[in-house]
Amino acid sequence: MDPRALILAATETLIDHVEELTALDSAIGDGDHGLNMKRGALAIQARLAEGQGGGTLAEALKAAGMTCMSTIGGSSGPVFGTLLVTLAKELPPAPGAHDLAGALAAGIAALTRLGKAQVGQKTLLDVLDPVQRLLAASDPAAPDLVARVRRCAFESAEATAAMDAIRGRASFLGERALGHVDPGSRSMALVIGAICDELSTARTP
């Protein structure tokens, strides 16, 4: 597994979906989520192109996380940055499904402390939590695990449309936020989906 390839795949999908993320955030936020994520993604790619970020998974994740914190505006920078830095601390060099589940649990705990949000409050935690539970409960050797993780991420993001917004700007809309997918959750699903696609491609003989 090439950590740089995974990070490049994740950042590229955020850049490709900037208009969609902007539209989602315009409906229930201040409309800058897509551009903020694109700015961070481009900064991460530039850092990798310059040879920064190291060659190990931990080094690459930490570099990406610190870049998120310094370049992405609003709450998304600290949120995505904290998640990536936490994963960098928790993951072994060659993680399996259960290693990733444990690291995601630590990431969820860190984000809960950071933003005081809980699962079920229309945030990216509503993608991370079901993915974490799926990984923890699954056989790491299951041939369809990557596909199930990908499906779980996207379905969980879509499910935020039926949730009340408790945190963030969307919380001020009350019931008007219903029917709208949370943009942070969609971004998280896109990232997970891109990583799953990259892993599937790498496994194809």
Q: What is the pLDDT along the chain (205 residues), one digit of tens a residue?
A: 788 899 999 999 999 999 999 999 988 778 899 999 999 999 999 998 887 766 789 999 999 999 999 999 888 899 999 999 999 999 998 899 999 999 999 999 999 999 888 899 899 999 999 999 999 999 999 999 999 999 999 999 999 999 876 655 545 344 555 678 999 999 999 999 999 999 998 765 5
CA–CA dist 81, 188 (Å, integer): 12
* Spacing of C-alpha 162 from chain mean position: 20
pTM of the model: 0.91
Domain topology for 3-203: 1.25.40
CA distance 202 to 161: 33
Angle at the Cα of 15 from the Cα atoms of 10 and 19, rounded to 5 degrees: 130
Contact 148, 199 (CB under 8 A): no
